[in-house]
Amino acid sequence: MIDRRSLLRTGGVLAAVGAVPLAASAPVVAAPQAPAELPTRNPLVEQRADPFITPPTDGRYYLTGSVPEYDRIVVRGASTLDGLASARERTIWRRPATGKMGGYIWAPELHRIDGKWYIYFAAGDKDEPFRIRTYVLESANADPRQDGWVLRGQIVTHLDTFTLDATTFAHRGKRYFLWAQNEPSVGSGTNLYIAEMASPLALKTAPVRIATPTLSWEVQGFRVNEGPAVLVRNGRVFVTFSASATDARYCMGLLTADENANLLDARAWTKSPQPIFATHVPTSQYGPGHNSFTTVGDMDVLVYHARDYRDINGDPLFDPNRHTRVQRLHWNADGTPSFGVPVGEGGPISRLATLDGLHVRHYEYRLRVDGNVRELADSQFRFVPGFLGNDTVALQSVNFPDRYVRVDGDVIRIDPFEDSDAYGRAASFRRVPGLADSKAVSLNVGADSYLIHDRGRLVAGKPGNDRDARRRATFRLE
């Protein structure tokens, strides 16, 4: 992607060649900052697949995940999510040279339960690396990076078959175990199962199958439901999971149950008919999946892996470049999660909200203002350096990063970048204190003209001293 700071490669010609001046007296506001502690770097950590980041625990986040060699379990910690990128990584366990667990080591998860740390992980045997079963490590230390981990053995389920991607969560005074496993009577591939736990080391109840890959997007390459992750919010229990082969077809689905339901009843769970997170070519993010969740303040954060290229030589399982990525998880008005698209490289992401709580979004590339925008990425933008010098900004679309907000008469669109003076003039703004609320922002187009929302449309106009028009030219950043 073109570096917009050296845009046009003409030594700032736009600022010098007949540019239509913006309001010279308009004070410029600094570029927006990312929400506290939420990283904008992408990826956060390279070559760590199946990433699991704990909720903040005693002031720290801890990260574990699959390493490309599939031979060990690693943990790193930091006081912020961004700090995990450069944090020292400790190997807390290595596979034995022979016998059980001497094969592939996959998808560790780190959980703090009753004052101890537990790591659930999948391991194959030395002579049968794909004889994958689920095992658990335990540590009484306060810091999971310290030595002292003890192998507690295998988590025994109802079948002695291919088993992986275990997670655990507590709900309504009970602890549950949720995992992926092959059941020969159902067919090839893996299904999702849930059971109540007697302890962090054993199941209490018979497993219940709650999901089987049957939809077209779940059976690409392989029949796969795996990598469950749990989030309890808004009166419901949400379980994300991953589906299909681990290449660009890999994607995420969603199961939902009422928080008061019997979670051990398969009928309590509903599967969304379409994937909720998938490859997005415009942002060069391929095969997003095997996620976890953490929090920053009151924000929910989606943690996942993805590649930044589609084509893979050989078995995708052994391509090392599934990188750990994070982005904010939003929520729809009905209390369901809104994932958007896997975002690419760039700075902080903003949503522009009217003072009435509606959002600026693009629809068929035209900008408008709507309520309850379920297509989250259509309402996400990045403020980047503008095309008319350091005191201007441009608004880059998040899901179409080659497009910028551009004024064309009475139409405001996101248009593909063009190396021209006209494009630079039409796609540059000055971001100033909000005309109706100084804690918000207004976007000055030129002279006394601003972006204004008008009966659902976004237009350029002169609000003057009209109170209502000045309110409609003011936007809060979220």
Of the listed ranges 33-42, 50-59, 101-110, the one predicted with least confidence:
33-42
40 part of a folded domain: no
Is 385 in the same domain as 264? no
How many Cβ atoms sit within 10 Å of the Cβ of residue 339?
Answer: 21
pLDDT beyond 60 at 23: no
Per-residue tokens: 44: 């956060």
Mean pLDDT computed over every residue of the chain: 92
Q: What percent of the chain has pLDDT over 70?
A: 92
Quote the pLDDT of residue 18.
31
Structural domain count of the chain = 2
Considering only residues 36 and 244, tell me which one the structure prediction assigns the higher pLDDT: 244
Considering only residues 410 and 295, tell me which one the structure prediction assigns the higher pLDDT: 295
User: Which of these, 471, 451, 474, 476, lies nearest to 462 by C-alpha position?
Assistant: 451
Quote the pLDDT of residue 388.
84
Is 330 in the same domain as 406? no
Characterise 172 by phi-psi region: left (phi > 0), alpha (psi -120 to 50), beta (else).
left
CA distance 288 to 292: 12
160 part of a folded domain: yes
Is 146 in the same domain as 273? yes
Domain that holds residue 433: 4-33+349-477
pLDDT beyond 60 at 13: no
422 part of a folded domain: yes
378 part of a folded domain: yes
Per the annotation, the verdict on 226 as an active-site residue is yes
Examine the fold and report which residue of 300, 319, 338 is the final residue of a domain before the chain moves on. 338
Catalytic choice (125, 165, 226, 421): 226
Amino acid residing at 328:
R
228 part of a folded domain: yes
pLDDT beyond 70 at 222: yes
Per-residue tokens: 285: 């993010």
Residues 6+ apart with CB under 8 A from 145: 62, 75, 76, 77, 90, 92
Is 166 in the same domain as 222? yes
Per-residue tokens: 228: 């469950």
What's the pLDDT band for 36 if we cut at 50, 70, 90? low
Radius of gyration of the chain (CA): 25
Residues 6+ apart with CB under 8 A from 24: none
Catalytic choice (50, 82, 109, 247): 50
Is 75 in the same domain as 173? yes
135 part of a folded domain: yes
Residue 292: CATH number of its domain: 2.115.10.20
Residue 374: CATH number of its domain: 2.80.10.50
pLDDT beyond 70 at 275: yes
Is 95 in the same domain as 188? yes
Is 333 in the same domain as 355? no
Per the annotation, the verdict on 69 as an active-site residue is no
Q: List, in sequence order, every beta strand (DSSP E) within 124-215.
A: 133-139, 150-154, 163-171, 174-181, 191-199, 202-203, 208-211
203 part of a folded domain: yes
Average pLDDT value for residue range 93-117: 98
